[in-house]
């Protein structure tokens, strides 16, 4: 299989998935709405004092982003599994890892990227200091792809089960914790005016690890789910 043919399959999957997500917008809008609602409800719950909100803002935004990412996870493979498209992906001559990466990329564009874009607005609503804004955007930009890539492994494992939702949370949530810890702590550190190189580098390392090891693991899990 030549590189060009592999790229054809990759771009075909990305394009098709983006078209599909666009045609069922509501499915993908739901987690985003959840993200916005959780963050905006927080001031009502803990009180409107700017100092208190600013101190919890990094954690709140990150927890909400993490849960929103998890809510949208099942859309990666569910409909493809139900209508048989997944079988076609598996038996196609293209490397399955590459096709999986394409699917995760398309999914991140519609579910993770909006979180990155919305992040600073919601951070602002929680009085997050302006000097921490860029760090928030950076951590989300590095962290949400990890959430999608790691989550894809979990979805691939449970997609054949009828009620895999609970199992999915149990599988995936522990793997999300490091991303949450380093993401939120980087924003905290930035808000205190300290250098954030360390946690950002660790998030970058997690992303590198997830991009290289996630798709093959997902591909293997898909083959198991389908057999």
Partner 1 sequence: MLIHPFEENPVHCRLMLLSIPLLNRGAGGSRPPSTALNMSLENTAAPQPPTDFVRLEARGLSCVRNERTLFGDLSFSVGSGQVLQVEGPNGSGKTSLLRILCGLSLPESGVVHWDGAPIQDVRSEYGQALAYVGHRHGVKGELTAIENLAFGYALTGGQPALRPSEAMARLGLEGLEDVPCRSLSEGQRRRAGLARLLVGQYHLWILDEPFTALDRAGIAAMETLVREHTARGGMVVLTTHQNLHLEGCALTRIGLPR
Instruction: Name which position in 40, 46, 87, 134 contacts partner 1 (CB under 8 A).
Output: 87
Residue (of 199, 201, 115, 108) closest to 146 by Cα position: 108
Q: Does 83 bind partner 1 (CB under 8 A)?
A: yes
Show the site string, 12-41: x = touches partner 1 by CB under 8 A, - = not. xx--x--xx--xx-----------------
Q: How far apart are CA 219 and CA 210, in angstroms?
A: 13
Instruction: Name which position in 90, 113, 171, 175 contacts partner 1 (CB under 8 A).
Output: 90
Question: In the complex, what is the shortest distance from the CB of residue 162 to partner 1, in angstroms, rounded to a whole number?
Answer: 15
Q: Which two tokens stand for residue 92?
A: 């196609």
Stretch that binds partner 1, among 9-17, 136-144, 185-193, 212-220 (CB under 8 A): 9-17
DSSP for 34-46? HHHHHHHHHHHHH
Which residues touch 126 (CB under 8 Å, ≥6 apart)? 39, 42, 43, 53, 54, 56, 57, 60, 61
Which residues touch 189 (CB under 8 Å, ≥6 apart)? 135, 195, 196, 199
Q: Does 159 bind partner 1 (CB under 8 A)?
A: no
Question: In the complex, what is the shortest distance from the CB of residue 26 to partner 1, in angstroms, rounded to a whole number?
Answer: 12
Q: Does 91 bind partner 1 (CB under 8 A)?
A: yes
Residue 28, CA distances (Å) to 18, 112, 120, 180 in order: 11, 10, 20, 22
Contacts with partner 1: how many residues (CB under 8 A)?
27
Residue (of 122, 118, 130, 138) closest to 203 by Cα position: 138
Q: Which two tokens stand for residue 79?
A: 């409909």
Question: In the complex, what is the shortest distance from the CB of residue 13 to partner 1, in angstroms, rounded to a whole number?
Answer: 8
Q: Does 199 bind partner 1 (CB under 8 A)?
A: no
Q: Which residue has the tokens 């993401």?
A: 183
Q: Does 92 bind partner 1 (CB under 8 A)?
A: yes
Stretch that binds partner 1, among 45-53, 69-77, 84-92, 115-123 (CB under 8 A): 84-92
For residues 8 and 40, which CB has a smaller minimum distance to partner 1 in the complex? 8
- Positions touching partner 1 (CB under 8 A) are 1, 5, 8-9, 12-13, 16, 19-20, 23-24, 79, 82-85, 87-94, 99, 226-227
């Amino acid at each position: 299989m030549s590189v060009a043919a592999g790229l054809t399959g990759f771009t075909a999957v990305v394009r098709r998935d983006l078209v599909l997500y666009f045609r069922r917008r509501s499915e993908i809008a739901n987690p985003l709405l959840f993200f916005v609602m959780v963050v905006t409800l927080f001031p009502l719950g803990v009180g409107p004092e700017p100092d208190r909100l600013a101190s919890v803002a990094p954690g709140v935004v990150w927890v909400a982003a993490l849960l929103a990412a998890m809510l949208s996870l099942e859309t990666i493979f569910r409909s493809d599994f139900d209508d048989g498209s997944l079988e076609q992906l598996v038996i196609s001559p293209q490397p399955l890892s590459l096709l999986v990466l394409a699917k995760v990329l398309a999914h991140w564009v519609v579910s993770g990227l909006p979180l990155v874009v919305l992040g600073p607005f919601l951070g602002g609503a929680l009085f997050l200091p302006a000097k921490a804004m860029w760090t928030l955007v950076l951590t989300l930009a590095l962290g949400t792809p990890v959430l999608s890539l790691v989550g894809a492994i979990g979805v691939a494992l449970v997609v054949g089960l009828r009620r895999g939702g609970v199992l999915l949370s149990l599988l995936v949530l522990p793997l999300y914790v490091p991303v949450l810890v380093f993401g939120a702590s980087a924003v905290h550190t930035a808000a205190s005016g300290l250098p954030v190189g360390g946690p950002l580098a660790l998030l970058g390392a997690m992303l590198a690890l997830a991009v290289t090891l996630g798709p093959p693991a997902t591909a293997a899990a898909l083959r198991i789910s389908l057999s």
